Structure 1
Amino acid sequence: MPVPTLLDHTGAPFERKAAPVSGVSAPEPWFMEALGIHATASKVVVSPSTAMRVPAVARAVNLIAGTIGILPARVFKVAADEARTPATEHPAFGLVHRFANPFTSARELRQILTRDALLHGDGFAAVVRDGSGRPRELVHLPPGTCTADVDLVSREPFYRVSLTSGSDVLSWRDVLHLKAPSLDGIRGASPTSLGREAIGLALVLEAYAARLFGNGARPGGIISVPGKLGDTAGPRMKASWQAAFSGEGTGGTAVLEEGATFSPVALTSVDAEFMAQRRHQVREVANVFGLPSTMLGDTENQTYSNVEGLAQSFRDETLLPWIAAWEDAYARVLLDESELSTHAVAFDLEALDRADLAAKAEAIAKRRAAGITTANEERRSLNLPAHANGNELGSPFTTANEAPAHNE
C-alpha cells in the first residue's frame, strides 16, 4: 500500500526539502543531550533505554502511559449551557475514540506518545488529512524523527520531520505534540533527563548488587580451623566450599575437614545502609515522575487508612496534568478555530473511579440532596447528555405532597 501524501490543514502538500548534509565528527555534548543521553556524576550514562533498566523507572513509565492509554476519549459538542453530547459525526471522533489509523488504535497511540514524552520529553504524531483538509489519520513519528522549533518573529511553533525520502517542515496544526512539562515552552523536559542523577545512582546500586550476588562475593560466614591446614586439605576444602556456595552452586552442601567450624556472619550496618539506599532510590524515582512511592512497590509507609488518599493523589497529581496536556494537544490539531468554542475533546475519568463507585455515587447523592448541583451538572461531569428535567436544583429525594382539590 503506498504511503499517503502528507497534507497540511489547508489541504496543500507539505513542502519537501532535501535533508542537509554535513561532515561527520565527534558528538558534541549538546547533541548527546538532544538524543536524551546524559552523563552523570556517578559516571553512568543515562539514556531512555538504560533508564528503563531500573525497575522503578520501568514501572513508573508503564503505569502512567498504560493508565492514560486505557482512558476513553471523545469529541463532544458543547452547548451554551456547557452541556455536552458526543459529536459522533465529527471527523476526529473516531481518531480519538476508536482508531488513530488503520493499524493503530487510539488507546495504543496515546500509550506510545505518553511513553515517548516520559522518556524523551516529546511525543509526536503527524496528522494526515484528506483533500478537504479534514483529519483522516494520526501516524506516530518515532523519537529522533521530529524536532520542535519556533519562529523567532511570530513565535509560532513548527516541526522538522526527517523521513527516509527527505525532510518536511510541518505547521503546528499538522503535528500532534504531547510534551512533558517544558522549561522553554517549546520542547518538553523528560523526567529521565531531569532526574538523571537519581536514575544513575539507581543503576549503580543495581549493577553493584548484581555483581556482588552473582559472584557470591559476600561471605555468609567464616571457616575456622584449630590448627594449620595441610597442603592438600586447604585447596580441597576451598574447592568444596566454592562448589557449594558460589555462582549456580549456591545452596549445596560443603564438607569441612581438619575439625573446621563455620560461623555465620550477621548483617552489618553497611549491608543495612545499602538496602536503605536502594529503597531511597525508589522514592527518588517516584519523585522524578510525580508518583506516590507506593505505586512503585514502596509499601513501608503504606497503611490501610491512607490507601484511598494515595490513589487520589495518583489521580489528581500524576494523571490529571497528562490528561489536560492530551486534551489540549488533540484540540489544537483536530478542531478548527471555529470549533474551539463549540466542541471539546475530553477524557472519561469514570474508568479511574470504577474501584470506588459506591463512594462516588454517595458523593453525587449528597450534593443533589443538599441542593448544591443539578442533575444535568452531575451528568455533565460524567460526560452524559443533558436530561429534559435535569436543571431543577431541588432535592430529588423530597417531594411536596399536596392534597388534591375537591369540589364541594
Structure 2
Amino acid sequence: MKWLKSWNPLRRKSADQMGSRELLEMIAAGATAVSGVSINATTALRYAAFFACLKVLSEDVGKLPVKLYKERPTRGSDVARSHKVHRLISRRPNDYMTASEFWEMCTAHMILRGNFYAWKNVVNGEVVELLPLSPTAVKPKLREDWTLVYDVTFANGKRNILGQDEIFHVRAMSLDGIKGVGALEYARECLGLGIAAERHGAKLFVNGANPGGALQTDQILTDEVFNRVRDTWNEKHQGLDNSHKVAILEGGLKWVSVTMTNTDAQWLENRKHTDNQICGMVRVPPHKIAILDRSTNNNIEHQGLEYVTDALLPIVNRIENRIRVSLLNEQDEENHYAKFNVTALLRGDMNARRQFYKDMVFIGAFSPNDVLELEDRNPREGGDIYLTPSNMNINGRPADEDQKRDR
C-alpha cells in the first residue's frame, strides 16, 4: 500500500478541518441509558451475553466461503475466478486483512452501528481494494437532487465529501433508506439494564459477595470498639481472597445467618431475562451462547436451522446484494452475482453431510466429484457421472430411451 500514499484521489479533493463539535460527537459515539450506564461500543462489548452473540454472528459469517459467479447463457453458473472482484471478496480485500476478517468486521459493524463502510480504491475503472472505515467517522447525506454522498472524517482529522460510487456501504434494517439502525442506539436500555445488573453483581463479590450473615451483640459498643471490630472483620474476611477463613468472635458477638432475599432472587431472574432479550434482539438462539435452560435434544436442531434462516441469511443477503450493485460495473452486474455458501455450516455435522451428499448423488443432482470438491478433496477419474436411479422410468422405459423415441 506504499504506492497508495503517493497516489490517492482523496488528496486532490478539498478538505476541511473537523470542528470541535463533530470531534466530540465522534469520540462520544454513545449515550447514557436510563439505568445510568453509558452505552458505547466498548461498554456494550463488555456485556458477556451481547459480546457472545456478536462473536457468534460475526464468526459464522466470516467462516462462510463466498464466491463470485457468472451466469451461463442458458442455465447454471460458473465461478468467475479471473474476475478481480472475486479475489477481493473471497481472499484478500486489502493488504492487511483476509476475507474472513473483513466480513467478520462487516457483520460486527452492522449489528453495533447498523452500517458498514469501506472506501473503494479504484484503478483504471476497477475496484482493487476495500479499506474499512469507522462507522462513527462517516455520515451519509441525501442531497436535494436525490444523490447520496458521504461526509468522511479520516484519522488525520481531514474531511472529504465522497460520492456513492466511492463507498461500499452495507446497511442493516433502515428506517429512511440511508442509514441502518444498530443495537447501540435502539437497544440501549436493554444493554444498560444488563450492564447495570452485571456491575451490581461484581460489586457484591468485591465486598465478599452477598453477606452470608451479620455480627450481633446485646451490648452497647463504643465508637472505638465498633470501628475496631468493623475494620478487623473487613480486613480478615472481606473479598474473595479471605473467603472461608475461620472467624474469632469476642465480647459476646454472635453470627446471625442471612438467607437470600426476594430482591436477590429477582436480580438473578432479571439477568436471565435480559440475556434472553439480547439473544432475541439479534436472533441468536440462547443455546449458541451456552444458555441451555430450555434447550433439549429434540428442539436444538430446529433452533439451529432457524438461526441460519432468520439470523444469518438476512445478513449475507444484504452483503451479496451490495456486492452486486456496488462492486460490479453495469455490464457485469447483469450476469454476475456473489454467493455465500451457507451449507458450509453443516461441516460440523458429519452424519448430516453424509446423508445430504448421498441423497444428492442418488437423484443425480451431484456427481461424486461434486461431493469431493465440497469436501476440499481432489476429483477422481470417472467421478463426473450423474446417476439416474433405475426405477425412474417414463411409461416403463428409461427416460433417455423415451426421449429418443419422441424425436
TM-score in terms of structure 1 length:
0.82
The answer on 1:215 being equivalent to 2:175 is: no
The answer on 1:347 being equivalent to 2:340 is: yes
The answer on 1:62 being equivalent to 2:59 is: no
Pairing of 1:72-221 with structure 2 (within 5 A): 72-130=65-123, 132-153=124-145, 155-163=146-154, 164=156, 166-216=158-208, 218-221=210-213
Deviation at 1:353, TM superposition (A): 0.9
**Greater helix share, structure number:** 2
The answer on 1:245 being equivalent to 2:237 is: yes
Q: 1:161 to 1:239 in 2, by over 3 A?
A: closer
CA deviations on 1:267-315 (whole Å, 9 max, x unpaired) are 2221111110111111111122222222233221112222112211221
Point out the more displaced range, 172-181 or 159-168: 159-168
Deviation at 1:351, TM superposition (A): 2.3
Point out the more displaced range, 197-206 or 349-358: 349-358
Is the 2:215–2:255 contact (alpha carbons within 8 Å) kept by the matching residues of 1? yes
Is the 1:57–1:285 contact (alpha carbons within 8 Å) kept by the matching residues of 2? yes
SS at match of 1:101: coil
The answer on 1:278 being equivalent to 2:271 is: yes
One-letter code aligned to 1:283: N
Deviation at 1:395, TM superposition (A): 3.5
Is the 2:61–2:316 contact (alpha carbons within 8 Å) kept by the matching residues of 1? yes
* Aligned mate of 1:337, from 326, 330, 336: 330
In structure 2, what is the Cα distance between the partners aligned to 1:60 and 1:339? 36
SS at match of 2:190: helix
In structure 2, what is the Cα distance between the partners aligned to 1:94 and 1:325? 19
Question: Which residue number corresponds to residue 405 of structure 1?
Answer: none
Q: 1:217 to 1:397 in 2, by over 3 A?
A: same
One-letter code aligned to 1:287: G
In structure 2, what is the Cα distance between the partners aligned to 1:233 and 1:20? 64
Q: 1:179 to 1:34 in 2, by over 3 A?
A: farther
Is the 2:118–2:169 contact (alpha carbons within 8 Å) kept by the matching residues of 1? yes
Pairing of 1:7-86 with structure 2 (within 5 A): 16-19=13-16, 24=20, 36-86=29-79
In structure 2, what is the Cα distance between the partners aligned to 1:225 and 1:96? 73
How many residue pairs get matched? 385
Question: Which residue number corresponds to residue 406 of structure 1?
Answer: none
The answer on 1:267 being equivalent to 2:268 is: no
SS at match of 1:255: coil
Deviation at 1:250, TM superposition (A): 3.0
In structure 2, what is the Cα distance between the partners aligned to 1:21 and 1:33? 10
In structure 2, what is the Cα distance between the partners aligned to 1:43 and 1:57? 18
In structure 2, what is the Cα distance between the partners aligned to 1:20 and 1:136? 29
Deviation at 1:324, TM superposition (A): 0.6
Unaligned runs of 5+ in 2: 399-407
SS at match of 2:119: strand
Q: 1:121 to 1:233 in 2, by over 3 A?
A: same
Question: Which residue number corresponds to residue 306 of structure 1?
Answer: 299
Question: Which residue number corresponds to residue 402 of structure 2?
Answer: none
Is the 1:223–1:263 contact (alpha carbons within 8 Å) kept by the matching residues of 2? yes
Is the 1:14–1:169 contact (alpha carbons within 8 Å) kept by the matching residues of 2? no
Question: Which residue number corresponds to residue 319 of structure 1?
Answer: 312
In structure 1, what is the Cα distance between the partners aligned to 2:255 and 2:17? 70
Deviation at 1:165, TM superposition (A): 7.6
TM-score in terms of structure 2 length:
0.82
In structure 1, what is the Cα distance between the partners aligned to 2:209 and 2:350? 52
Is the 1:181–1:188 contact (alpha carbons within 8 Å) kept by the matching residues of 2? yes
In structure 1, what is the Cα distance between the partners aligned to 2:224 and 2:139? 69
Deviation at 1:34, TM superposition (A): 11
In structure 1, what is the Cα distance between the partners aligned to 2:375 and 2:68? 11
Unaligned runs of 5+ in 1: 8-12, 403-408
